[in-house]
Amino acid sequence: MLTNFEKGVHPMNRSMFRAIAGAAVVASAALATACGGGQPAGEQKAAAPVAGAPVQINGAGATFPYPLYSKWFDEYHKKNAQVQINYQSIGSGGGIRQITNETVFFGATDGPMTEEQLKAAPGAILHLPTVLGADVPVYNLPGINAELKFTGPLLADIFLGKIKKWNDPAIAKVNAGATLPATDITVVHRSDGSGTTYIWADFLSKVSPEWKDKVGVNTSLNWPAGVGGKGNEGVAGLVSQTPGSIGYVELIYALQNKIAFGAVQNANGEFVKASTESVTAAAAAAAANMPADFRVSITNAAGPGAYPISSFTWLLLYEDAKDKAQSKAMVDFVKWALTDGQAFAAQLGYAPLPADVVKQEMAALERVKTQ
């Protein structure tokens, strides 16, 4: 029998979420079909339980952090039964659009809002990094057991539609010893506005001038090649079902769906696979140079062992929202997420925030008016 949580999840996603222990939103959470106890992390003091009348908070946005957010909202509800946080996993573009239109109380994105988007919002919006994650190149090549390697320019040329066969000399050059088939390459990309796409395109724009000029960086792109899937799970599903395909998803979706994913060459020339350790290495430099508004890119980061397609993911909150009870509840939740909540990150394939970033965010939360 399906649980209440599973009834709110599209059938193709149920197996993934069953595999995440305890990763259920509260029973009445409103979930979109589109788009896991540990000790306190760090030395910051976690938020005390919120007292008072029941508070229901609605949010929407990125699929990239959804497995972790589901776990967080469930765990926080256990400690604060009067606070119910509902989250629709609809993609970063949708999250930005809905918080701008004030149809949800908070948004979530993997690509920071642009200056134009911030100006279009009816009030000041605060970007709050929650954890770090990674985009990985996933592929479906039956009979190939070797772990494939990709350079940034190679990935750009594949997604530009310039490299069309798996045995192309450019792929064979960085995968010496692998017997590559003369199979056509099917590119799979996101069809919706997506922070996962933003991270992917941000990296490709840094390593390929042609990609930067012809495609650029955004949550939605005019794709020169391929077929689209909705959400990370849509891309994962298409790659799983399509021999010869290649796509990009957040690391947890590759792990939970058991899809092969390759190592990517970083700025130091090393071929690195995504892991909590390699993503943490990518974040090290950014932590020391974090801008006051937290909008920063860490793709193609320098440093040994750094995975090059890494990123922060952000919650979006109005600094002066109309509903102060919801503001107070969300500030208390974020303080918990930045401290105790970080202990859940690694088990779901995310990297916890550097301590210096947590300290800066605790100070930034003082800007949110709660009364």
Spatial distance between the Cα atoms of 113 and 111, rounded to a whole number of angstroms: 6
Where is the domain boundary, 241, 268, 283? 283
Best CA proximity match to 152, nearest among 350, 301, 303: 301
Look at residue 37 and tell me if it is in a domain: yes
| 181 lies in the same domain as 198 | yes
For 335-358, what is each residue's pLDDT tens digit? 999 999 999 999 998 999 999 999
Q: Where are the alpha helices (DSSP H) in 27-85?
A: 66-79
Look at residue 304 and tell me if it is in a domain: no
Hey, what amino acid is at 345?
A
Q: Report CA-CA distances (Å) from 321 to 80, 312, 316, 317, 367.
A: 22, 24, 12, 8, 11
Regions in the chain scoring below 50 on pLDDT: 1-49
| 146 lies in the same domain as 254 | yes
Cβ 337 vs Cβ 365: under 8 Å? no
pLDDT of 366: 97
Tokens of 299: 């793709």
| 120 lies in the same domain as 139 | no
| 121 lies in the same domain as 192 | no
Tokens of 21: 């222990």
| 332 lies in the same domain as 228 | no
Q: Which domain holds residue 221?
A: 135-283
Strand partners, 139: 246
Hey, what amino acid is at 303?
G
Tokens of 242: 């399509």
Look at residue 300 and tell me if it is in a domain: no
Look at residue 296 and tell me if it is in a domain: no
pLDDT of 146: 85
| 224 lies in the same domain as 273 | yes
- Cβ neighbours around 104 below 10 Å, total: 23
CATH code at position 108: 3.40.190.10
Handedness of CA 58, 312, 279, 174 (dihedral sign): positive
Look at residue 214 and tell me if it is in a domain: yes
pLDDT of 13: 43
| 255 lies in the same domain as 353 | no
The burial of 46, by beta-carbon neighbours within 10 Å (0-12 exposed, 13-18 middle, 19 or more buried), is given as middle
Spatial distance between the Cα atoms of 13 and 230, rounded to a whole number of angstroms: 12
pLDDT of 292: 93
Spatial distance between the Cα atoms of 362 and 42, rounded to a whole number of angstroms: 13
| 271 lies in the same domain as 163 | yes
- pTM of the full structure: 0.80
| 11 lies in the same domain as 129 | yes
What is the widest separation between alpha-carbon atoms in the chain?
65
| 158 lies in the same domain as 20 | no
What's the total number of domains in the chain?
2
Spatial distance between the Cα atoms of 112 and 128, rounded to a whole number of angstroms: 10
Strand partners, 43: none
| 114 lies in the same domain as 232 | no
| 106 lies in the same domain as 224 | no
